[in-house]
Amino acid sequence: MNARQRNNVNVIGAGSKTIVFAHGFGCDQNMWRFVWPAFADGYRIVLFDHVGCGNSDLQAYDDGKYATLDGYAEDVVEICRALGVSGGVFVGHSVSAMIGVLAARRAADLFDDIVMVCPSPRYIDDAGYTGGFAEAQIHELLDFLDANHMGWSQTLAPVIMGRPDRPELAEELTNSFCSTDPEIAKKFARVTFLSDNRADLSAVTARCLVLQCSEDVIAPQCVGEYVHRQLPNSEFVLLQATGHCPNLSAPEETVAAMKAFLGGGNS
């Protein structure tokens, strides 16, 4: 199985510079539907689904490989290599911001610029570090996912996966945008919310943009600022948009900030 099929890679446009968009936990490449068209003129656009999400090959999911974010970063590198990406732009939302950091560590030549949308290198508070979640809260999340295996797929999954128990509703309610395999989603949540990539930030050589939302419960402002401080070469932009998905809730503002950072986008 090649990387393009495995990760449901879509390539749009033929610009000489490539932008790779990576979605975060909870959705798939549809996350970028309001953003990527703004760059289609000057760039080659690469969209993909992480394994276990969207239309990726679920068979390719491997417990061992995807037990850390590094497994996902390996896929990013493979996709870029397959497409001959070099000196490109990586745009990662949420957990994928850190996946981009890890991919860049594996292959520094891939990206000149990294745009981090609502990044967090660690979600759990630590001595001298505020991640936004007490350890107990993350464990409440993980326990909820584990203990309510059935409950999860009966309550959350209907929206995410359609309703196996009520197929007549599935048509109407099936979410064609952010489909997720419930079992894999659980594991992805665990990897995401237990990750700690603070030590990787200082090694990033690419120019970085940190896009921070207001009132983001997942990645609070102090976390974005921390990321900005640790990166050797970064800009920080605080968006007016609230929540965790400015790419959906405030695409214009997001695009504007990215364009300002990338300098018009044509190279």
Partner 1 sequence: MSERFAKDLDEIDDLEDLFEHAPCGYVSAGVDGRIIKVNATFAGWLRLDKADLIGRRFQDLLNIVGKIYYETHFAPLLRMQGFFHEVALDLVGADGTKLPVLVNAVERRDEAGNMRFTRITIFNASDRRQYERDLLEARRAAETANANLLELNRTLEDRVAEAVEARVRSEEALHQAQKMEAIGQLTGGIAHDFNNMLAIILSALNLLERRLAKGEDVAPLLAAARESAHRAASLVQRLLAFSRRQPLAPEPLCPNDMVRDMSELLRHTLGEAVSLEAVLAGGLWHVHADRNLLENAIVNLAVNARDAMPAGGRLTIETANCHLDDAYAAEHAIKAGQYVMVAVTDTGTGMTEETMQKAFDPFFTTKEVGKGTGLGLSQVFGFVKQSNGHIKIYSELGHGTTIKLYLPRFYGTASAPAPKASSDVTLPSGREVILLVDDDERMLSLTASMLRDLGYGVVETARGAEALDKLQAHPEIELLFTDVVMPQMNGPELAKEALRRRPGLRVLFTSGYTRNAAVHNGILNPAMNLLQKPATVEQLARKVRAALDDELDPHRHR
Residues making contact with partner 1 (CB under 8 A)? 24-27, 30-31, 33, 94, 133, 137, 140-141, 144, 150-151, 154-156, 158-160, 173, 175-178, 215-218, 242-245, 248-249
Name which of 104 and 218 has its Cβ closer to partner 1. Answer: 218
Closest CA to 123 of 135, 109, 105: 135
Q: Could you give the CA distance from residue 262 to residue 218 in angstroms, rounded to a whole number?
A: 26
Of the candidates 122, 96, 95, 92, the one whose C-alpha atom is nearest the C-alpha of residue 226 is: 122
Pick between residue 14 and residue 217 the one whose CB is nearest to partner 1. Answer: 217
Cβ-contact 54, 188 below 8 angstroms: no
Compare residues 108 and 159 and give the one whose CB is closer to partner 1. 159
Q: Of the residues 94, 96, 179, 234, which is catalytic?
A: 94
Which among 50, 216, 228, 234 is annotated as catalytic? 216
Task: Give the nearest distance from C-beta 140 to partner 1 in angstroms.
Answer: 6
Is 70 catalytic? The answer is no
Supply the minimum distance, in Å, between the C-beta of residue 172 and partner 1: 8
Instruction: Judge whether 216 counts as a catalytic residue.
Output: yes
Q: Minimum Å distance from CB 108 to partner 1?
A: 30
94 is annotated as an active-site residue: yes
Catalytic residue set: 94, 216, 244
